[in-house]
Structure 1
Amino acid sequence: MSATPNDPSTPNTPNTPNTPSTPDASYLVDGLRFAFGTLTVVPVRVTRWDREAARGGMLWAPLVGVAVGAAAALCGVVLLALGAGAPLAAVCSVAVPAALTRGLHLDGLADTADGLGSGKPAEDALQIMKRSDIGPFGVVTLVFVLLGQVAALAQAYGDSWARGALAAVVAATAGRLALTSAAPAPVPAAPAPRAPS
């Protein structure tokens, strides 16, 4: 019986076609679909959910950031062209990425703040982070982060429309680039579950 290229039981060796050292067109396309399908609300048909597709998706994450940032910048620039002030353009440029990403990054930030702010041992903090509700630390963190983003973009848009647009694109791209750079060195959030004895 021969193993298929995406078979998880197949060792990931240089001779295996699904290694990143020998990417083919399908690897790149699957990675692009994975990136847009998981990091945005764009209705992309994700056909693969394996490690190789995820790895490709993380490589494409900065491109997702460029697209999200460009949409945010476009919203801000259009509002400025219509005569709105820099603060309203900044609010729109912060709201667009939140809407395009389903608030994924904001939810994760709130969960992290709740877990770290709980003062509980690591295991209990992880349980708090897994809950679907947002606690007081999460709310306060979101308020300050969103206010900071709006204030920074309002200042940039106040200087010039180009500076505000560039700031929106750079911020969105840098955030996704951090995801790409963190992908090669995973840090487990929780210990692996023990097998029942």
Structure 2
Amino acid sequence: MRGAGAGPRLAVTLLTVVPLRTPEVNRGTGRAAMLAAPLVGLITGGAAALVLLLGGALDLSGLLAAALAVGAAAVLTRALHLDGLADLADGLGSGQPAEDALAIMKRSDIGPFGVVTLLLVVLVQVAALASAPHAAVAALIAGVTGRLALPWACREGVPAARPGGLGALVAGTVPARGAL
């Protein structure tokens, strides 16, 4: 698939467990994928909202339904955002120079800063959903707004942290107007 459809398909493939073929992967496709990222939040936020609604129908406690919803969103995204957050926390928490911090972030293990950060973030997400008056709506909104950072992070003038990998493919591809 070429043209407009390749970017959204790449966004779905990168940001969820849904495997869609994207034969054309280049900077243009990457730009379109980053611009479509917030829409992919409808899939992940929708899944969390569905779990919350099912939890309500089954008369589960709000806390249990919220925990299951956060877990469902993590599974649907391959926990990619959580993995990245843990890597970031370990890298920044190391106090090392940039090159060494990037090496720490690239490793597959998780350190104490990553563990503590993940625990706090997941607890806050569950608590926020459990206390929201319309938790399913909140989950849907969070799914979309949580992906608004991707176009912003990939806007023109923002370099990749390192020359290889996905970041280099999408860094600087989104016009500032598109990021807004």
Query: SS where residue 176 of structure 1 aligns?
Result: coil
Does residue 88 of structure 2 align to residue 112 of structure 1? yes
Measured after TM superposition, the shift of residue 182 of structure 1 is: 2.3
Aligned pair partner of 1:171 in 131, 142, 152: 142
Match of 1:136 in 2: 112
Match of 1:78 in 2: 54
Q: What are the equivalent positions in structure 2 for 1:11-90 lying under 5 Å apart?
A: 26-90=2-66
User: Any unmatched runs of 5+ in structure 2?
Assistant: 165-180
Q: Which amino acid aligns with 2:137?
A: L
TM value normalised by structure 2: 0.86
In the alignment, the residues of structure 2 paired with residue 115 and residue 43 of structure 1 have an alpha-carbon distance, to the nearest angstrom, of: 30
Aligned pair partner of 1:103 in 62, 79, 90: 79
Measured after TM superposition, the shift of residue 191 of structure 1 is: 7.0
In the alignment, the residues of structure 2 paired with residue 111 and residue 179 of structure 1 have an alpha-carbon distance, to the nearest angstrom, of: 17
Which one has the bigger helix percentage? 2
Query: SS where residue 70 of structure 2 aligns?
Result: helix
Query: SS where residue 97 of structure 1 aligns?
Result: helix
Q: Which amino acid aligns with 2:53?
A: V
In the alignment, the residues of structure 2 paired with residue 191 and residue 181 of structure 1 have an alpha-carbon distance, to the nearest angstrom, of: 19
In the alignment, the residues of structure 2 paired with residue 191 and residue 122 of structure 1 have an alpha-carbon distance, to the nearest angstrom, of: 14
In the alignment, the residues of structure 1 paired with residue 159 and residue 83 of structure 2 have an alpha-carbon distance, to the nearest angstrom, of: 20
Does residue 164 of structure 2 align to residue 188 of structure 1? no
Aligned pair partner of 1:145 in 113, 118, 121: 121
Measured after TM superposition, the shift of residue 116 of structure 1 is: 0.4
Q: Which amino acid aligns with 2:27?
A: R
In the alignment, the residues of structure 2 paired with residue 134 and residue 121 of structure 1 have an alpha-carbon distance, to the nearest angstrom, of: 19
8 Å contact kept, 1:94–1:149: yes
TM value normalised by structure 1: 0.79
C-alpha distance after superposition, 1:20-49 (max 9, x if no partner) = xxxxx9421101111111111002112111
Measured after TM superposition, the shift of residue 181 of structure 1 is: 2.4
| Count of paired positions | 163
In the alignment, the residues of structure 2 paired with residue 102 and residue 63 of structure 1 have an alpha-carbon distance, to the nearest angstrom, of: 17
Aligned pair partner of 1:94 in 70, 87, 94: 70
8 Å contact kept, 2:2–2:24: no
Percent of pairs with identical residues: 55
